[in-house]
Amino acid sequence: MALSEHEQRLLDEMERRFYQSEADVLPTSGASRPALSYRMIVLGTLITLAGVGVMVAGVAAQLLWLGLIGFAAMVAGVVLFFTRREKEIGVTDASSARSSAAPKSAAAKESLSDRMERRWNERMEGER
């Protein structure tokens, strides 16, 4: 079924708005992703290797609990390896870090769909 001229114009306008607002939805490349910490990479590697050793020792001694501890250490090491840090915070920067963390926690509680809906409503109200 064909669209009327009015419906076609509305559809074109919606598409145009969608493509204009698409940049607001997509994350910026690399700007929000913090760098890997060299300390966490080394610590994660050492813990993973220790976990492999403990797991092998547990298998060799036929001790299930020791093998499970080794596996848990391996998983913890891999998690540490891929942990990203914003910035190493010194003692002098701790108070400023606490004050800037408060607004982020309120925004973090808002779900993605809620943020998207709020942004859409703000755009639609601003164009009227």
Give the pLDDT of residue 97.
Answer: 47
Give the pLDDT of residue 98.
Answer: 47
**Rounded distance between C-alpha atoms, residue 58 and residue 123, angstroms:** 60
Burial class (CB in 10 A: 0-12, 13-18, 19+), 13: exposed
Give the pLDDT of residue 92.
Answer: 46
pLDDT in tens, the chain (128 residues): 777 888 888 888 888 888 777 666 665 555 556 677 788 888 889 999 999 999 999 999 999 999 999 999 999 999 888 887 655 444 444 444 444 544 555 556 777 888 888 888 888 887 66
**Phi, psi for residue 104 in degrees, rounded to 5:** -70, -35
